[in-house]
Amino acid sequence: MGKKWHEQSTEEVMKALESSRRGLSGPEAARRLAGHGPNRLVEKKKRSLAMMFLDQFKDFMIIILMGAAVVAGAIGELTDTLVIMLIVVVNAVIGFVQEYRAGKAMDALKAMAAFQAGAVRDGVVSHIPATELVPGDVVILETGAVIPADLRLVEAAMLRVDEAALTGESFPVEKMTKAMDGPGVSLGDRLNMGYKGTIVSYGRGVGLVVATGMSTELGKIAGMLQDEEEVRTPLQKRLAVFGRRLAIAVLVICAVIFTMGFVRGVEPLFMLLTAISLAVAAIPEALPAVITISLALGARKMVARNALVRKLPAVETLGSVTYICSDKTGTLTENRMTVEEIYKDGVTMGSGDPLVEKDGYLLTAIALNNDAVSDGNGNIIGDPTETALYRVAAAHDCEREIVERKMPRVAELPFDSERKCMTTIHRMGDGRFVSFTKGAVDSLIDRLVLGESGEKAASRDEIVKVGDGMAKRGLRVLLYAVKEWDVLPEPVAPGTVETGLTFVGLAGLLDPPREEAKDAVALCKEAGIRPVMITGDHPLTAGVIARRIGIIADGSNQAVMTGRELEGLSDVELEEGIDEVRVYARVAPEQKLRIVKALQKRGEFVAMTGDGVNDAPALKRADIGIAMGITGTDVSKEAAHMILLDDNFATIVNAVREGRKIYDNIRKFIRYLLTTNSGEIWTLFLAQMAGFPVPLLPVHILWVNLITDGLPALALSAEPAEGDIMKRKPRHPKESIFAHGLGVQAFWVGLFMAVLVLAVQYFAIYGKVGQWQTMVFTVLCLTQLGNCLAVRSEKQSLFKQGLFSNKPLLGAVTLSFGLQMAIIYAPGLQKIFHTQPLNMSQLGVCIAVSSLVFFAVETEKMFRRIGEKKGAMPNPR
């Protein structure tokens, strides 16, 4: 066997993999992808479709029902058996389709949340799905990235990798590119390799893919990491418990009904079939699947509006958010930086002014201390701060690439949000070195040697004053400094390099607030949600922007708190004062965690945005952690519950709105299902108590169940958001799904339905109206449809909502009505369902009586509205 990857030089590896620094060509990559397969760990075998379908029959009650139906067929009516079987199959198909759709929607979400990798193909960096990487690909590594495949590193700038996932070693390992000796070096000691699934915790690098998918070291141990268990949402968990209890209660009631019928001398088999049908109908076995669909489809809608949900529970908990803590740059602002002002040699000027590079270093510093690159077609690629500065230098004939030819970069200290600065070191023509540092004024001011280079040199006070002046105009201020070296500082570290610097100048960059941010902030406040800005930027800059978009209300004493002030506070003091703070400036990412905790201690439900590696703990801890899709690191995305594909604050607010709507609709669905089931149970139970003949045949019960569990219920999830959805206060996260009278309503509406049904039964039998069973069956069915229309809103009347504002539902109700009519009037169906045609007055009575349920629920809503008007209070946010 030849040398292992870590023993070979980078050139050898390049050659062995037939690649170069320009990466592979498109066709070559495609060829290799076909050969090696996608770069993913092989997943567990999925359940086949057939199995999924068969699983629908596994339900205990369904098996009993089928058994009973077969027995019934054996001793008598074969049609009954067939109809019951048919209904069971249709039920299974509905269940199957629901489960399949839920699974598909979840898969689609997962695929969208998959990682991208920056790969060099044909000499150009492009972002491709990490699954498409092949051996030989050249991959760019940035801080916060999850390494997408096994790599031999060919470039490492202070690159540190957290390999805990693979080796268990919790300290990040500093990487290098030199070949190493000995094949026996353990994985953790192979310093020139990067392994799939580990995390770049610092620095920058480039690696050559040597293994993908199951051939990677992670792939070899993948079996252990396979089981990504399905997380159930709080609602799903609660409903599962509720479902079990309900099932037991229903079974008890059914047993009682059966016993009573038996004692009264009804034929036992018929009574048994009735009781079982009722149990099948009243146990809401479809509930979990329907909830998953509502959430997953809701999540899909959210993606269309740029909010990608990674963890399903977020969809439902979004509605409870009381605080949104948002980054500034790129989220509340556009992250389209332009250099507005330059300060140099005691003068502040516009960036367009001819800055003649005579004796100063400023333009050279701006050009060289820069990570943006030109793609050769006039596009500048990189972080907006960097590209803006690149452009300014280039506009003054100081293009980075050209200047760098004379002064190549030999070392660097990459930017990090803790130091708030970055440094590059260059070799000069005479063999000496120069370092350029740029960063926040307050971070660098104490590292300057001031007042030494003649009288023109700015004083500390002067620099701070000019900087603050720019910040008050809403600009982000960067200070440039320089230092010359005879020999390269050793080691290249912040402590040795970023000290004793000479001031060069200031640059003020404007990043305008996003247009939609102002409206979104106003909407938040109306919805009882408090928006708060957390930024690494200067307090003055942050304060100005916060006022412009309304986060700080005009004329209020709402405050800006700096990271340093925050540091000085105890946890208790922080909790006490936190109510008034609207902006946190110059905060280190670690402090975000403290803010989240303090808010949560006060009972707030916190959404928090973040993009860096260090944001991950705060994102995890927040009730809704939100990562940035464009600027966010893999690590932050992995920790987040939701990803903003457009990095936009307004998208969060839209997602909250969508979350509230989805929860509302789930409640509507549950309300409908429970009233329906309670109606069926009450009917059969009270009939037994009153000594009436059993009002419905098993097929009738199953049919009503099919109608209610079927289309109308699903159409409820298409219900548009109610008008007041962003005017209400956030829902308390622990609030029961049965809150606000849902449970009580299911109880009384069901009872009311039963009373109506039994009244019809009574008068039809004793008034000799005839066809009593068909009438009872019809009334029960139609009351459900009326109820379905009425539960569309908790408060608003249907007439205000408009019959046509949910067309799927109207269609479903109309279709169900049509089917019911067919069952009554079509001779073929009459035989199957044991119905007789109703004459006009009989049908008229049925429709009139059924509509009473609709009016009763509407009346309740009216009282609710009146009650609310009396107790109305404006949201205090």
Active site residues: 327
Q: How far is the CB of 253 from ligand ATP (least distance, A)?
A: 58
Record the tokens describing residue 418, joined without a space: 């803790």
The smaller minimum CB distance to ligand ATP, of residues 151 and 624, is found at 624
The smaller minimum CB distance to ligand ATP, of residues 478 and 788, is found at 478
Q: Where do the H-state alpha helices sit in 264-350?
A: 268-282, 287-304, 313-317
Q: Tell me if the bond preceding 491 is cis, omega within 30° of 0.
A: yes
Q: How far is the CB of 588 from ligand ATP (least distance, A)?
A: 9
Angle value at C-alpha 823, between 817 and 825, nearest 5 degrees = 100
In this structure, the number of other CB atoms found within 10 A of the CB of residue 573 comes to 12
- Per the CB < 8 A criterion, the answer to whether 502 and 430 are in contact is no
Rg (CA), the chain: 34
Q: How far is the CB of 329 from ligand ATP (least distance, A)?
A: 3
| Residue 872: its H or E element | none
**What pairs with residue 437 in β-bridges?**
423, 481
Q: Is 18 left (phi over 0), alpha (psi -120 to 50) or beta?
A: left
With a CB cutoff of 8 Å and minimum separation 6, the contacts of 591 are 563, 566, 567, 584
> The dihedral of CA 513, 514, 515, 520: what is its sign?
negative
Q: How far is the CB of 551 from ligand ATP (least distance, A)?
A: 13
Catalog residues that contact ligand ATP under the rule CB under 6 A. 327-329, 383, 385-386, 415, 417, 420-422, 438-440, 476, 478, 535-538
The smaller minimum CB distance to ligand ATP, of residues 614 and 654, is found at 614
The smaller minimum CB distance to ligand ATP, of residues 136 and 536, is found at 536
Q: How far is the CB of 646 from ligand ATP (least distance, A)?
A: 15
Rounded to 5 degrees, φ, ψ at 687 are: -60, -40
With a CB cutoff of 8 Å and minimum separation 6, the contacts of 170 are 162, 164
Q: How far is the CB of 93 from ligand ATP (least distance, A)?
A: 50
Q: How far is the CB of 541 from ligand ATP (least distance, A)?
A: 7
Q: How far is the CB of 399 from ligand ATP (least distance, A)?
A: 18
The smaller minimum CB distance to ligand ATP, of residues 535 and 778, is found at 535
The smaller minimum CB distance to ligand ATP, of residues 390 and 777, is found at 390
C-alpha distances (whole Å) from 767 to each of 761, 770, 842 are: 10, 8, 12
Q: How far is the CB of 9 from ligand ATP (least distance, A)?
A: 33
The smaller minimum CB distance to ligand ATP, of residues 250 and 422, is found at 422
Taking CB positions, which residue lies at the least distance from ligand ATP?
536
| Residue 780: its H or E element | helix 772-790
> Helix 539-549 crosses helix 460-472 at what angle (to 10 degrees)?
10
The smaller minimum CB distance to ligand ATP, of residues 208 and 421, is found at 421
Q: How far apart are CA 552 and CA 545, in angstroms?
A: 9
Record the tokens describing residue 572, joined without a space: 């208790």
- What pairing do the DSSP bridges indicate for beta strands 199-211 and 138-142? antiparallel
Q: Find, among 343, 332, 325, 646, the residue nearest to 509 by Cα.
A: 343
Q: b/e map of 156-190 (b: 16 or more CB within 10 Å)?
A: bbbbbbbbebbbeeeebbebebebbeeeebeeeeb
Q: How far is the CB of 415 from ligand ATP (least distance, A)?
A: 5
- Per the CB < 8 A criterion, the answer to whether 721 and 661 are in contact is yes
Record the tokens describing residue 361, joined without a space: 């270093």
The smaller minimum CB distance to ligand ATP, of residues 343 and 672, is found at 343
Q: How far is the CB of 533 from ligand ATP (least distance, A)?
A: 8
The smaller minimum CB distance to ligand ATP, of residues 216 and 329, is found at 329
Record the tokens describing residue 279, joined without a space: 């149990």
- What pairing do the DSSP bridges indicate for beta strands 338-344 and 606-610? unpaired
| Residue 376: its H or E element | none
Q: How far is the CB of 368 from ligand ATP (least distance, A)?
A: 13
C-alpha distances (whole Å) from 475 to each of 350, 429, 468 are: 13, 36, 9
- What pairing do the DSSP bridges indicate for beta strands 606-610 and 199-211? unpaired
The smaller minimum CB distance to ligand ATP, of residues 538 and 637, is found at 538
In this structure, the number of other CB atoms found within 10 A of the CB of residue 225 comes to 12
Q: What is the DSSP string of 211-267?
A: E-GGGSHHHHTGGGG---PPPPPHHHHHHHHHHHHHHHHHHHHHHHHHHHHHHTT--
Give the position of tokens 């309304």. 550
- Per the CB < 8 A criterion, the answer to whether 100 and 49 are in contact is yes
The smaller minimum CB distance to ligand ATP, of residues 508 and 786, is found at 508
The smaller minimum CB distance to ligand ATP, of residues 137 and 537, is found at 537
- Per the CB < 8 A criterion, the answer to whether 728 and 747 are in contact is no
| Residue 352: its H or E element | none
Q: How far is the CB of 650 from ligand ATP (least distance, A)?
A: 16
| Residue 424: its H or E element | strand 421-427
Record the tokens describing residue 164, joined without a space: 């805990």
Quick one: DSSP state of residue 720?
A: P
Record the tokens describing residue 823, joined without a space: 């069952």
- Per the CB < 8 A criterion, the answer to whether 213 and 39 are in contact is yes
